[in-house]
């Protein structure tokens, strides 16, 4: 018996076919795109380390206190497993260094080892998932000054250089053991709240620190390095050492990936346009998708025009093989699991919308200067039955559709989250 979803998909397939789009090919392409899902949404960036001096700070702020935050690693894993069960397609978990398995011991960040992440390798293998990794330069006494890798104090700087070196070693281990390339993403909060005199001094120091960190080369079959900039943050409103221009220059010179966090730019800047501007020169791009409202507020991504335009730029440029897709947001004012699913699915939907565009037809009209026809097709795409294709994709991936997953989260909240006090 043919299901209602199958019938609607057949109708959509026929309509897209009239525009020269094969939806079966589109779905097969989407099946191969892995989503790197940030670990920190689940527990408000708490992690598992046992450092007694662990503190908040470094431009990181989670707002809200919705019920059900995991109290230990077992509850945390249960929540992540639930999230993964509600998101279609291949997935990776993007870890911060403070999420290692330290077995209840005090292990400072310049002492972490691959063995502290064996737990995650075993988890990833069971779930056929990949793993990415980030250093954790915030929430530590050695970052209280506002500077880490660009600190003028040698002992502070060396501490964080060692931390990042060890994170890169761990990244190589994660990629080798899982068989899926681990993206090591470097972001630091270094900067100042008010007027700054020594901008160049700190950037010279940061360059020297990065040169030391990247001196060791690891197999690209296991890991790739990426640099993430920021326009400003809490406590670094006037100056950020690792600016977009700084990291773009360093990545170009050293053949590294460049991370675009969609919340790390001015609200009037278009990230989509930046992508095709750097792609001819850059090794590749890591996308960290969030939704900034007035500042880098890391709101849950939704299927916005901005998000769609980013994915359209990737697909239209034919650079899917040069882009890694991930999310980077945290919101504890709503159900954390629900936030995860909304955000990651929004990114996947934006990719699907971009893949469904009749690019050859649009390019043909463009080359023949039939610009009214190009615009007409853009308008036509707004009323195409994209939702039927999405529902069908969820069905064949054995994942709940957009209505049923909401009920699943309600049930999980009632049966699990509400019992956590």
* Mean pLDDT in residue range 39-66: 81
pLDDT recorded at residue 63:
83
* Mean pLDDT in residue range 283-307: 92
pLDDT recorded at residue 262:
94
- State the DSSP H helix or E strand holding residue 23, giving kind and residue range, or none if neither: helix 23-31
Whether 54 has a pLDDT exceeding 80, the answer reads no
Whole-number Å distance between alpha carbons of 234 and 308: 28
Mean pLDDT of the chain, nearest integer: 95
138-147 pLDDT, tens digit per residue, is 999 999 899 9
More confident residue, 54 or 98: 98
225-255 pLDDT, tens digit per residue, is 999 999 888 888 899 999 999 999 999 999 9
More confident residue, 60 or 280: 280
pLDDT recorded at residue 294:
79
Whole-number Å distance between alpha carbons of 78 and 72: 10
pLDDT recorded at residue 58:
65
Q: How far is CA 326 from CA 38, 51, 131, 134, 287, in A?
A: 7, 29, 11, 13, 6
99-114 pLDDT, tens digit per residue, is 999 999 999 999 999 9
Whether 59 has a pLDDT exceeding 80, the answer reads no
Task: List Cβ neighbours of 107 (8 Å cut-off, separation of 6 or more).
Answer: 49, 50, 51, 100, 116
Q: Which string of b and e fits 248-264 if b means at least 16 CB within 10 Å? A: bebbeeeebbbbbbbbb
Whether 57 has a pLDDT exceeding 70, the answer reads no
Domains and CATH numbers, the chain: 33-357 (3.20.20.150)
* Mean pLDDT in residue range 167-172: 98
pLDDT recorded at residue 373:
98
24-36 pLDDT, tens digit per residue, is 999 999 999 999 9
Whether 384 has a pLDDT exceeding 80, the answer reads yes
pLDDT recorded at residue 53:
56
pLDDT recorded at residue 51:
79
| Percent of the chain's residues with pLDDT above 70 | 98
pLDDT recorded at residue 292:
86
More confident residue, 244 or 295: 244
117-158 pLDDT, tens digit per residue, is 999 999 999 999 999 999 999 999 999 899 999 999 999 999
**Catalytic residue numbers?**
187, 228, 230, 261, 264, 288, 296, 298, 328
* Mean pLDDT in residue range 304-317: 97
Whether 278 has a pLDDT exceeding 80, the answer reads yes
Whether 298 has a pLDDT exceeding 90, the answer reads no
* Mean pLDDT in residue range 403-413: 97
* Mean pLDDT in residue range 379-388: 98
Identify whether the C-beta of residue 204 lies closer than 8 Å to the C-beta of residue 149. no
SS (H, E, C) 192-233: ECCCCCCHHHHHHHHHHHHHHHCCCCCCCCCEEEEEECCCCC
Whether 50 has a pLDDT exceeding 90, the answer reads no
């Amino acid at each position: 018996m043919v299901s209602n979803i199958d019938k609607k998909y057949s109708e959509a397939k026929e309509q897209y076919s009239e525009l020269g789009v094969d939806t079966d090919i589109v779905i097969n392409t989407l099946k191969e795109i892995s989503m790197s899902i940030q670990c920190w949404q689940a527990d408000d960036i708490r992690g598992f380390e046992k450092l007694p001096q662990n503190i908040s700070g470094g431009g990181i702020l989670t707002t809200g206190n919705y019920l059900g935050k995991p109290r230990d690693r077992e509850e945390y894993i249960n929540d992540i497993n639930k999230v993964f069960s509600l998101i279609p397609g291949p997935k990776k978990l993007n870890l911060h260094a403070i999420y290692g398995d330290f077995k209840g011991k005090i292990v400072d960040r310049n002492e972490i080892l691959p063995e502290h992440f064996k737990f995650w390798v075993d988890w990833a293998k069971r779930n056929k998932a990949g793993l990415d990794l980030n250093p954790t330069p915030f929430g530590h006494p050695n970052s209280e000054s506002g500077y880490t890798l660009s600190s003028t104090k040698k002992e502070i700087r060396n501490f964080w250089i060692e931390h990042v070196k060890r994170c890169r070693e761990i990244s190589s281990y994660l990629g080798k053991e899982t068989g899926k390339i681990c993206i090591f993403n470097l972001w630091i909060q270094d900067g100042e709240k008010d007027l700054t005199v020594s901008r160049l001094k700190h950037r010279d120091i940061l360059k020297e620190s990065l040169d030391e960190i990247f001196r060791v080369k690891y197999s690209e079959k296991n890991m790739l390095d990426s640099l993430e900039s920021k326009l400003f943050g809490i406590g670094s409103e006037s100056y950020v050492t690792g600016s977009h221009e700084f990291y773009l220059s360093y990545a170009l010179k050293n053949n590294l990936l460049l991370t675009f966090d969609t919340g790390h730019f001015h609200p009037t800047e278009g990230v989509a346009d930046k992508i095709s501007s750097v792609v001819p020169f850059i090794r590749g791009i890591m996308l960290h998708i969030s939704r900034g409202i007035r500042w880098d507020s890391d709101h849950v991504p939704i299927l916005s025009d901005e998000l769609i335009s980013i994915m359209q730029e990737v697909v239209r440029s034919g650079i899917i093989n040069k882009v890694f897709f991930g999310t980077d947001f945290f919101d504890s004012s709503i159900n954390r699991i629900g936030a995860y699913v909304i955000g990651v699915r929004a990114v996947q939907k934006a990719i699907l919308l971009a893949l469904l565009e009749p690019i050859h037809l649009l390019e043909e009209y463009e080359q023949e200067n039939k610009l009214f026809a190009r615009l007409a097709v853009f308008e036509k795409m707004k009323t195409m039955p994209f939702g039927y294709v999405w529902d069908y994709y969820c069905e064949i991936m054995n994942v709940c559709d957009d209505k049923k997953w909401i009920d699943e989260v309600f049930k999980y909240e009632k049966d699990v989250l509400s019992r956590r006090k």
